[in-house]
A and B are shown apart, each in its own frame.
Chain A
Amino acid sequence: MTEIREQDAGGKGVAEVGRSQWWDVWRQFRIHRGALVGMMVFALIMLGVLAGPLVYWNDPQFVPTGRDFIKLRDMRPVYVTLWDTGAKVSWAHPLGTDNLGRDILARLLSGGQVSIAVGLTAMLLSLVIGTVVGVLAGYFQRLDGPLMRLTDLFLALPLLPLLLVAVLLFRAPLSAAFGPEGGIFVLIVTLVGITSWMQTARIVRGDVLALKEREFVLAARSIGTSPPKMILRHVLPNVLSPIMVSATLGIATAIITESALSFLGFGFPPDFPTWGKLLFDAVDRMELYPERVVWPGLAISLTVLSVNYIGDGLRDALDPRIRSH
């Protein structure tokens, strides 16, 4: 039994991956219905937020002035006419406008660019840190103590003062290096990343600790497999599923945390829309204008759901035992 596993596990070792193996993975992924639908939805969202602002005629930053202002503000989405014929709608603004007359669809589209970029990058960053720390701590006895105490330290640090200090120290140099918006992007992604890796690290370490004593790992070690090879071939593939779960949850956390940051004034400039911020700003008027909370909420949920299904499919596709069925 152990030998078979050994071979299978070896099949997905990164070092020896050939085209056929990745083809295998893709074939497996393709027949996973959820993964495919998730992939399509995610592609659609990406297309929407990337190409949408190029095609769509309204500018997310535009505020009407003068007499137009009263006319154009607080417009309802066009579908509202289905049940309320008297509603103030216009096909020029399919999802309506907000209390300052800015087009909601345009803000959703351009907000999505930022939210998805922040969500994905911050999630990847925290995943990488978490996995590396977790694997090293779990696998190497000597590193366990120091790395886990470091994790404890990060878990204990109060987030808000940490942000204040980071903004104080790094905002000016970063905006000098990457421009004002680029600098804030780097700052936010790094902050969200380095404050959310601890859970992944603890989980991965726990799994690695158990894995390390399993027969196939002991067997591999007895034939003299070097630690790096061992980690890549045998350990990592077997802790993939908690990592995938952390990844999906991580995206949602990053998108929401970003909105909390901009609410506190550490994030993007106040006229710069993101999904989290659109949602936050709309909560007060939830009863009058439900569309303003529904659409950003839906966008965040759909993104998270689609990534979740892609993760599910990926995990199944990478799992040798399922693939062999």
Chain B
Amino acid sequence: MLTYTIRRLVLAVPTLLFISLVIFLLLELAPGDPMAQVPLTVPPEVKEKMREALGLGQPVHIRFTKWLHQFFVVEPMVLADSLFGTAFAEGNQRVISWQTRSPVMDIVIQRIPQTLWVVGVAYVVAVLIALPVGIYSAYRQYSIFDQAGTFITMVGFAIPPFFSGVLAIVIFSVQLGWFPSIYNTTHVVNDWDSFLVQLKQMILPVMVLALQITSQLSRFMRASMLDNLGEDYVRTARAKGLSERTVVLVHVLRNSLIPVVTVIALGVPAIFGGAIITEQVFKVNGIGHLLITAIQANDLPMVQTLTFIFAVLIVLFNLVADIIYGILDPRIRYD
């Protein structure tokens, strides 16, 4: 397993370089103009000057090499500087966003807290709800609990957040006035009261997001449990006189976790990717919001950097999933 992990990690480098090139070319090919949001009253000659100031006149390969250098050499130096107080990055150009003319990584770091607060918490909540629901639904297949669970999860998945989010706002913010409809990203938690305020502003977006994720996860959990509950080893285990609890929660669950681990591992990069629509509805302004505004404004350095960070996370967590498969089922071999 260790050699496999090391081999995969080494292999990840060319993979990621290739992915970054594909993303770069894709963005290059996509129609769009960083000046699209500038009002029509600004004349075209001025817009052309502004484009030149962004460095858009340079050929593609030079811009790509520049980005590689900035992202892989300058940004780590900046990180080192801020950690150890050194001055490696002095005078080097960082990855600069076209919209804000400021370093992309600074904005990303600014956005991480609210993304983790909302999307991360929603994910944890969803996993904590989905697993027991899925297990119990499978164990008592076609019971009232299972039927109700199926109904709620399916409707929950079929209703898009642009509707459920607004519905939640209309009910809980407008009619009842319990929770704020707009997330305050500058809110600082430093005591119990401010924590309650934070909790209040998180509830609606977390609820809307968690509903979606729970629906998906619990369906996979249930299906996989059902498959395994019918297996021979379950009968054997029961025949050996193991308690029902041990049979279901140890033997069956362990063998049923592979698809669920896959889905969760695919979801972790998505946490960092944020939730575009939910963030938009509640004005959370996390990384999802950052990405969508960057795409709309055709802010290529920002889009490129963000998607590349996602790519790293995707490659990493798929590797983690593969390792967990091996732990869950020691018979799985990769070499």
Contacts and interface: CB of A to CB of B under 8 A. Distances in A.
A38 B166 CA distance: 30
Interface stretch (B111-119, B124-132, B155-163): B155-163
B282 interface: no
Given A252-B157, A286-B167, A301-B155, A165 B262 contact: no
Contact of A161 (B27, B163, B216, B321): B27
Interface in B281-335: 291-292, 295, 303, 307-308, 310-311, 314-315, 318, 321, 325, 329, 331-334
B70 interface: no
A321 B159 contact: no
A203 B220 contact: yes
Contact of A321 (B15, B22, B230): B230
Contact of B266 (A165, A202, A252): A202
A158 B318 contact: no
Interface string A139-160: 0010011001101110111101
B239 to A, nearest CB: 12
Contact of A301 (B31, B154, B331): B154
B26 to A, nearest CB: 6
B334 A164 contact: no
A152 to B, nearest CB: 5
B76 interface: no
B52 to A, nearest CB: 23
**Which of B157, B158, B230: most chain A Cβ within 10 A?**
B158
Contacts of A155: 266, 269, 311, 314
B9 to A, nearest CB: 13
Q: What size tier do the contact residues of chain A reach?
A: 35 or more
A238 to B, nearest CB: 8
A286 B18 CA distance: 46
A148 B163 contact: no
Interface in A33-55: 34
B163 A145 contact: no
A160 B29 CA distance: 12
B295 A202 contact: no
A29 to B, nearest CB: 15
B29 A283 contact: no
Given A144-B334, A156-B314, A164 B31 contact: yes
Interface in A219-252: 238, 241-242, 244-245, 248-249, 252
B154 A283 contact: no
Interface of B: 11, 15, 18-19, 22-23, 26-27, 29-32, 142, 147, 150-151, 154-155, 157-160, 162-163, 166-167, 170, 215-216, 219-220, 223-224, 226-227, 230, 232, 255, 258-259, 261-263, 265-266, 269, 291-292, 295, 303, 307-308, 310-311, 314-315, 318, 321, 325, 329, 331-334
30 contacts: A5-B232, A144-B334, A151-B318, A152-B311, A153-B22, A155-B311, A156-B307, A156-B311, A157-B23, A160-B292, A161-B30, A161-B303, A168-B30, A199-B262, A202-B262, A202-B266, A206-B262, A207-B258, A209-B332, A241-B224, A252-B154, A255-B158, A280-B163, A286-B166, A287-B170, A297-B158, A297-B159, A301-B158, A305-B150, A322-B230
Given A5-B232, A155-B266, A165-B31, 8 more contacts: A151-B318, A156-B19, A161-B303, A165-B29, A202-B265, A209-B258, A242-B223, A279-B160
